[in-house]
Structures are given as C-alpha cells and as structure tokens.
Amino acid sequence: MLPKVSATSGGLDLARRVAPNHTGRLVLTTLDPHASPQRVLLVEMLAEKGFIGERLAQGEVAAYAIGPGFLSLLTFAGCAVRIRSEPDAGAPFCHIQVPPVREHPYLLAGRNTRAPRCVGCRARLLDWRERRAHWASHPHAGVTCPTCRETRPPWLWDWKQQGGFGRLFIQIEEIFPDEATPTPALFDLLIRATGTGWRHFYIQD
Ligand SMILES: [Zn+2]
C-alpha cells in the first residue's frame, strides 16, 4: 500500500509525518557544487534503472518509492538490513526525495555535521553554523582560515561525509550514517545521466 498523499503535501511533509526521530539520510550530489544537472532527465534515468519507483508525493519536493534495483545499487553495512519500503505505523520507511535544483551551491548540514577543516592546515572552522546564512545569501563568499589565513570558498573546506554543498541533491531516507554506501554501478549511472562526477554524504536532522 502506498500512502495517499494529497497535492498539497510535499515530500518534506511526508518525511516529517513518518519520521519523528530522524535516523538519517544518504545524500548524493555532484562533485562540482556548481553543476546543475537536468532533474527531470536524471529522475527518468534513475527510474529506468530501477533505483527509484513510483512517485509518492506531488509538490515541490518529489518523493519516490524505492525501485526494484534499489538494493543492488547500494552496499549495506552489517548483515541485518531492515529496509521498509512501505509506511507502517509511523515507523521510518525508505524512500527517495529529489528537491528542485538550487540557484547556487547550498550547504546541507544537520546535527551530525562537525566543523569543517581547512584543507591547507587542518584547522577547524568552529563558527561555521553562524556563517550559514551569509553563505546562503552571498554565493561567492570566501572563507579565510583563522589559522593559516588562506581564503577558499566554503565548499573547498573538508566537510568529510557529514555535510556538503551542491545545487541538486538526491536524498535517500532513512539511512543511518554509513549504513549504506553507493555502489560503483550507481555512480556510473549518475555520471552517465548527467555527464559529471558525484559524491555522497550523510545528514541527520
Ligand atoms: Zn588553514
């Protein structure tokens, strides 16, 4: 049974309704944070290859059920894989969201995100949370390292796999950080669909 979702409730509402305690999401985005692949073509290709299935929610944030090829395109850690593909009594269930392409590189971060490190001297940028609003409204802002004084855009700091910048995100709910990683075949598929490289990280709201 797929949930009946009205035209007014978007994917975000869906996620909120079924996930009071957010386990986490696996996020896929382009290596180049400025890249803006065609979302419609990408979704079509992911559906064709069975990564995503039926559309669950109308609205700005498109939400999809997992497709028949989903489990073969991710590698799961541990032997007990508990993937619920249907909503059940408010428990987290696995689905995929593809929000609209953003105008500029945008930072996705969560409670698991730690201060990024300078790639030159490894110093941490401790006040990154206070800088987020500025980065969102000043897409070309550079960040000067408090230790070595080198200036780089915020996406060239080392966020590890705990956050990251991009314009288009594929968000796989609900995946605990490191519980699942994309296979080389999934990266190949993304590269073929968009002509650009991809990477992944994890976010917990
Ligand atoms: Zn530095």
Q: How far does residue 116's CA lie from ligand 1's centre (Å)? A: 11
Q: How far does residue 157's CA lie from ligand 1's centre (Å)? A: 9
Whether residue 181 lies inside any domain: the answer is yes
Q: How far does residue 156's CA lie from ligand 1's centre (Å)? A: 12
Q: Do both 150 and 185 map to the same domain?
A: no
Whether 190 and 74 have beta carbons less than 8 Å apart is answered as: no
Q: Do both 146 and 163 map to the same domain?
A: no
Q: Looking at residue 163, what is its pLDDT?
A: 97
- What is the residue whose two structure tokens read 């073969």? 72
- Residue 2: helix, strand or coil by DSSP? coil
Q: Do both 123 and 94 map to the same domain?
A: no
Query: pTM for this structure?
Result: 0.85
Q: How far does residue 160's CA lie from ligand 1's centre (Å)? A: 16
Q: How far does residue 168's CA lie from ligand 1's centre (Å)? A: 28
Which residues constitute the domain of residue 127? Answer: 116-156
Residues of the chain with pLDDT under 70: 1-20, 79-92
Q: Looking at residue 156, what is its pLDDT?
A: 97
Cis peptide before 130 (omega within 30 of 0): no
Q: Which residues surround ligand 1, an ion (CB under 5 A)?
A: 118, 120-121, 123, 145, 147-148
Alpha carbon distance 39, 42 (integer Å): 5
How many beta carbons lie within 10 A of that of residue 65, not counting itself?
A: 18
Q: Looking at residue 11, what is its pLDDT?
A: 44
Q: Do both 171 and 94 map to the same domain?
A: yes
Q: Do both 82 and 60 map to the same domain?
A: yes
Q: Do both 57 and 141 map to the same domain?
A: no
Q: Do both 48 and 97 map to the same domain?
A: yes
Q: Looking at residue 134, what is its pLDDT?
A: 94
Q: Looking at residue 86, what is its pLDDT?
A: 67
Cα–Cα distances in angstroms (integers) from residue 190 to residues 43, 95, 116, 155, 200, in the given order = 10, 18, 26, 21, 12
Q: How far does residue 142's CA lie from ligand 1's centre (Å)? A: 13
| Three-state secondary structure readout of 102-156 | CCCCEEECCCCCCCCECCCCCCECCCHHHHHHHHHHCCCCCEECCCCCCEECHHH
Q: How far does residue 148's CA lie from ligand 1's centre (Å)? A: 4
Whether residue 10 lies inside any domain: the answer is no
Task: List the one residue out of 155, 169, 45, 163 whose CA is nearest residue 101.
Answer: 169
